[in-house]
Structure 1
Amino acid sequence: MKSIDKIIILLFIISVTFVNAQFRENNALYTSGELNLGNYIGVDINLNYIYKENYSFKIGYTGNIRKPKSQPEDYSSGLTGVLLFGAANPYDQLENYQIGVGKIYKLNPRGTIRANISLGLGYTIIKEPENWIRINNGFLAENYTWNYNRYSTFSVILNPKIEFPFSRFYGLTLSPLFQINKDRTYIGIGVGQMIGLLRKRK
């Protein structure tokens, strides 16, 4: 290999290392996932970006379910439903695809506790069972037939999150979540974890 080739390769490696170090110094990029509990239960999954430990951006998905508000009092999933642990049961479903921007506030000098106050918009899909008709299926199967009514709307999302990036690559979260639209509102709190590049080296 010629000397000039060696120099070019060396300069390339140094440049990549420098750019990578600069990225880590000014940016954080990580995934987060929470289990939600409120007037629905479900999960919240996000890809998060933080710039200079001051501003945040996220894209994500929230999926929540609850016992149907329209469900007849004498509804039974039958023995089959019990054996499937309710997996085939009807549920009110609230799905949300969201983007959000926020501001970071350090709550301690080391940056291992911070508030990520995020406001965003979401495309919300609502599915709810309706047209319940009682049938005689014995004790093995459901005693009602039904079908889903599906519609969509837009939501405003407020998600003030307390983050605990204990290390540069792993942390925990505690996150109140409010999804507000003209049809349904979700109010709850999530507990979860963060994995990725969370903060600068201290």
Structure 2
Amino acid sequence: MKNLFLTLAFTLTSLASFGQFLKDDALYISPSIGGGDYFYFGVSLDYIINEKYSIGISGLSGMRNAKSTPEDYDMGVINGIFTFGTNRPMDYTNIFQFLVGRTFILSKDKDVRANLMLGLSISEKQSPSNWVWVNQGAFLENYLYEQESYWSAGLILKPKLEIPFSRFFGISFSPFLVLSQEVNYGCTLDFNLGKVRNRNSKNMVQKTK
């Protein structure tokens, strides 16, 4: 998993360096945070060609309290005190996305656009399983369990509303739906950093006068 994130980070950096040669296109990196069936955070790279077509790669991670946790699970006094109640059994997911799309300008100043994307996803799911009740007293958790993981491929739909405030910064609202072995859904707030739009918008021309 660590190697996959390092590979994604290297790809993002390499493409961003190449972006300085792209005069009429947009290329930007977007850290993101959001919610849905998990609490999500991630990073993506988007490349928009001639304000019409888009290509994107993204890595999104999510976490939540484990759905399989037994009703009588107790983390114990020691875990509760020393971890402030945060060391609970958790479900985790990592979703890698490879996307293409069509971009539509929604304002005359080109400061609002829709980026309708779809593509392929590769997902990793980790969750506790094989719960076994144990009597360890009130100080330790009363269940032992194993962490199970699997990978699956699927499809992702991701229509984004993008608001470039300037040439180099903007935000996006990005709802998504992943159709895989597990269906994932949510919406993230993305902070777009890089060449968010080109210089040819009406708003940018007015600012330079």
Query: TM-score normalized by structure 1?
Result: 0.82
**Could you say which residue in structure 1 is the equivalent of 2:170?**
171
CA distance in 1, matches of 2:172, 2:138: 43
CA distance in 2, matches of 1:81, 1:43: 26
- Give matches, 1:115-154, under 5 Å: 115-154=114-153
Cα displacement string for residues 134-166 of structure 1 (whole angstroms, at most 9, x for unaligned residues)? 223334432211111111110101110101110
User: How many correspondences in the alignment?
Assistant: 182
Q: Please point out which of 39, 42, 45 is paired with 2:40.
A: 42
Residue 54 of structure 2 corresponds to residue 70 of structure 1 = no
Alignment CA distance shift 1:130-1:108 (3 Å): same
Q: Is the 8 A contact 1:29 1:49 kept in 2?
A: yes
Cα displacement string for residues 144-191 of structure 1 (whole angstroms, at most 9, x for unaligned residues)? 11111111110101110101110111111111110111x211111111
Shift in Å at residue 22 of structure 1?
6.5
**Could you say which residue in structure 2 is the equivalent of 1:90?**
89
Residue 56 of structure 2 corresponds to residue 58 of structure 1 = yes
**Could you say which residue in structure 2 is the equivalent of 1:27?**
25
Unaligned stretches of 5+ residues in structure 2:
1-18, 205-209
Q: Is the 8 A contact 1:44 1:63 kept in 2?
A: yes
Alignment CA distance shift 1:163-1:81 (3 Å): farther
Shift in Å at residue 55 of structure 1?
0.9
* Letter matched to residue 101 of structure 1: V
Q: Which deviates more, 76-85 or 36-45? A: 76-85
Shift in Å at residue 88 of structure 1?
3.4
* Letter matched to residue 163 of structure 1: E
Secondary structure, aligned partner of 1:74: coil
Q: Is the 8 A contact 1:41 1:65 kept in 2?
A: yes
Give percent identity, aligned residues only: 34
Query: TM-score normalized by structure 2?
Result: 0.80
RMSD, aligned CA: 2.0
* Letter matched to residue 63 of structure 1: S
CA distance in 2, matches of 1:118, 1:142: 44
Shift in Å at residue 78 of structure 1?
2.8
Secondary structure, aligned partner of 2:68: coil
CA distance in 2, matches of 1:120, 1:166: 27
Q: Is the 8 A contact 2:65 2:88 kept in 1?
A: no
